[in-house]
């Protein structure tokens, strides 16, 4: 609980209108998009500047008050649930696009800026910010940075980390530092910029970011390849890459996902095949034409039953939009939808999909699978009901087996969702004790009082989701 003294100090910094410790407001920020995690903060606070963030952090560090920086709460690993109480720090008042620098091809933004607003603004100037998480209509740049978010365009263009070139960060003691900048090269000291990206709010609070932009691609084309054989679809993915073609998007959807997405989007997706690949390429028109033809040929050589190239831009947008709605479509089926991610080498995609199906059968749970086949990142998604505790136990066992299977195939427990609270029990499976110890040493050096998003990332004894009483 926050003492009256601490509350008064915080009110002095932000004013009564930007501080709320009512039960209603705290309940709103007691959970994120992760099923099965909920915990009440002691208060919610909305700073309006870096100076106010620094002042808040100094108070919290002195009085050992936990801080959870939060964007739109779209993360899927329990990363913004205040599991140890304290303050939830919102950035609604720090949501500006500060600058688009066309000479240096950069954008400077505050953490509360909505991702799609940034993308739209730079595209108006013929520029391109590639990271495109499925939640981009509501997710914030600060949240994307904390989670190192990916997206459909990650195969060709990379993830958020690849576009963050400078940060302003408030450290857990209240100090303000700047890392990187509008530079094409910078090897002065440790790469602190990359350290903070993906740190899930455990090392500091990002208050400003300088992002790399690139020229807008000249043209884009999209196609759909249909398969009756999972192995054939996976082999197509590997063969496309081995032919030195890197498409923008190379997405996989299995039949159960197709059925649900088509019922939701109603755009004519096939539901009588075992899998589809959604493939997109961009660039100069002649390169796109050449690559699309070669990829279509490869898919047919690898026993695709059909390959169709979208004839119009609206058709292409419909296909991509349908893929982005996969989670929403699945969420209509049962009260609880658990979207996970596990990543394997792309050559192991078919084995991983089969393993997921076998694990689902073993534990008698319903799992649909889709994801970014081009970079090996799959999203096994379980439709269930959190009120059925016996089934939830089986769901947890199934996901534990899925994470273990991914590691056995040379993969990892998360490709883009982060560790947060949900995957903390499994992190040591991937990193081993020595890796966990090294990460804890970094955490201790930055945050000796453990006020920054405590209870996240590092392994716990329990392997179950826990709903903390409100």
pLDDT(461) > 70: no
Phi, psi of 337 (to 5 degrees): -125, 120
Alpha-carbon distance values, 63 to 41, 442, 450 (Å): 16, 22, 12
Give the model's pLDDT for residue 460.
62
Q: In whole angstroms, give the CA distance from residue 413 to residue 399.
A: 10
- C-alpha of 309 from chain center: 29
| Each residue's pLDDT tens digit, 11-30 | 999 999 999 999 999 999 99
| Each residue's pLDDT tens digit, 219-236 | 999 999 999 998 899 899
Provide the pLDDT confidence category of residue 266 given band limits of 50, 70 and 90.
confident
Which residues lie closer than 8 Å to 216 by C-beta, 6 or more apart?
123, 126, 127, 128
What is the model's pTM? 0.93
Give the model's pLDDT for residue 395.
96
Q: In whole angstroms, give the CA distance from residue 414 to residue 425.
A: 13
Give the model's pLDDT for residue 462.
46
- C-alpha of 139 from chain center: 9
- Percent helix / strand / coil, the chain, rounded to 5: 40, 20, 40
Which residues on neighbouring strands pair with residue 114, listed in sequence order? 140
| Each residue's pLDDT tens digit, 315-335 | 888 887 778 888 788 888 899
Give the model's pLDDT for residue 470.
39
pLDDT(383) > 80: yes
Provide the pLDDT confidence category of residue 196 given band limits of 50, 70 and 90.
very high
Give the model's pLDDT for residue 316.
83
Q: Which bin fits 205, alpha (ψ -120 to 50), beta or left (φ > 0)?
A: beta
Mean per-residue pLDDT, 285-293: 97
| Each residue's pLDDT tens digit, 394-451 | 999 999 999 999 999 999 999 999 999 999 999 999 999 999 999 999 999 999 999 9
């Amino acid at each position: 609980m926050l003492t009256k003294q601490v509350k008064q100090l915080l009110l002095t910094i932000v004013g009564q209108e930007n501080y709320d410790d009512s039960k209603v407001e705290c309940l709103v920020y007691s959970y994120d998009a992760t099923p099965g995690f909920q915990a009440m903060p002691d208060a919610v606070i909305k700073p309006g500047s870096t100076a106010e963030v620094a002042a808040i952090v100094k108070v919290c560090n002195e009085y050992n008050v936990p801080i959870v920086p939060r964007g739109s709460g779209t993360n899927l690993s329990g990363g913004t649930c205040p599991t140890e109480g304290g303050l939830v720090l919102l950035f609604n008042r720090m949501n500006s696009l500060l600058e688009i620098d066309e000479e240096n091809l950069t954008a400077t933004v505050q953490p509360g800026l909505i991702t799609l607003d940034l993308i739209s603004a730079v595209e108006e100037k013929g520029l391109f910010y590639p990271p495109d998480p499925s939640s981009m209509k509501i997710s914030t740049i600060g949240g994307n940075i904390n989670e190192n978010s990916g997206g459909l365009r990650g195969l060709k263009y990379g993830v958020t980390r690849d576009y963050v070139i400078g940060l302003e960060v408030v450290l857990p003691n209240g100090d303000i530092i700047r890392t990187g900048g509008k530079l094409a090269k910078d090897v002065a000291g440790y790469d602190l910029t990359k350290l903070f990206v993906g740190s899930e709010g455990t090392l500091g609070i990002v208050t400003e970011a300088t992002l790399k932009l690139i020229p807008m691609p000249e043209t884009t084309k999209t196609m759909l390849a249909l398969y009756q054989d999972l192995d054939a679809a996976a082999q197509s993915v590997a063969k496309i890459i081995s032919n030195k073609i890197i498409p923008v998007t190379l997405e996989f959807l299995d039949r159960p996902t197709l059925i649900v997405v088509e019922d939701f989007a109603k755009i004519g997706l096939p539901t009588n095949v075992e899998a589809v690949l959604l493939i997109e390429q961009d660039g100069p028109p002649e390169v796109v034409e050449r690559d699309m033809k070669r990829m279509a040929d490869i898919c047919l050589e690898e026993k695709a039953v059909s390959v169709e190239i979208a004839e119009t831009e609206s058709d292409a947008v419909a296909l991509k939009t349908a893929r982005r709605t996969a989670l929403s479509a699945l969420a209509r089926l049962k009260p609880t939808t658990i979207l996970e991610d596990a990543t394997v080498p792309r050559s192991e995609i078919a084995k991983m999909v089969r393993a997921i199906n076998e694990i689902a059968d073993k534990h008698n749970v319903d799992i649909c699978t889709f994801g970014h086949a081009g970079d090996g990142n799959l999203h096994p998604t379980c439709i269930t009901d959190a009120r059925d505790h016996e089934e939830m136990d089986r769901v947890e066992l199934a996901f534990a087996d899925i994470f273990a299977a991914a590691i056995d195939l040379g993969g990892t427990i998360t490709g883009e969702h982060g560790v947060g609270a949900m995957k903390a029990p499994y992190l040591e499976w991937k990193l081993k004790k020595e890796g966990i110890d090294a990460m804890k040493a970094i955490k201790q050096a930055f945050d000796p009082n453990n006020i920054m998003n405590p209870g996240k990332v590092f392994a716990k004894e329990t392997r179950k989701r826990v709903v903390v009483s409100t």
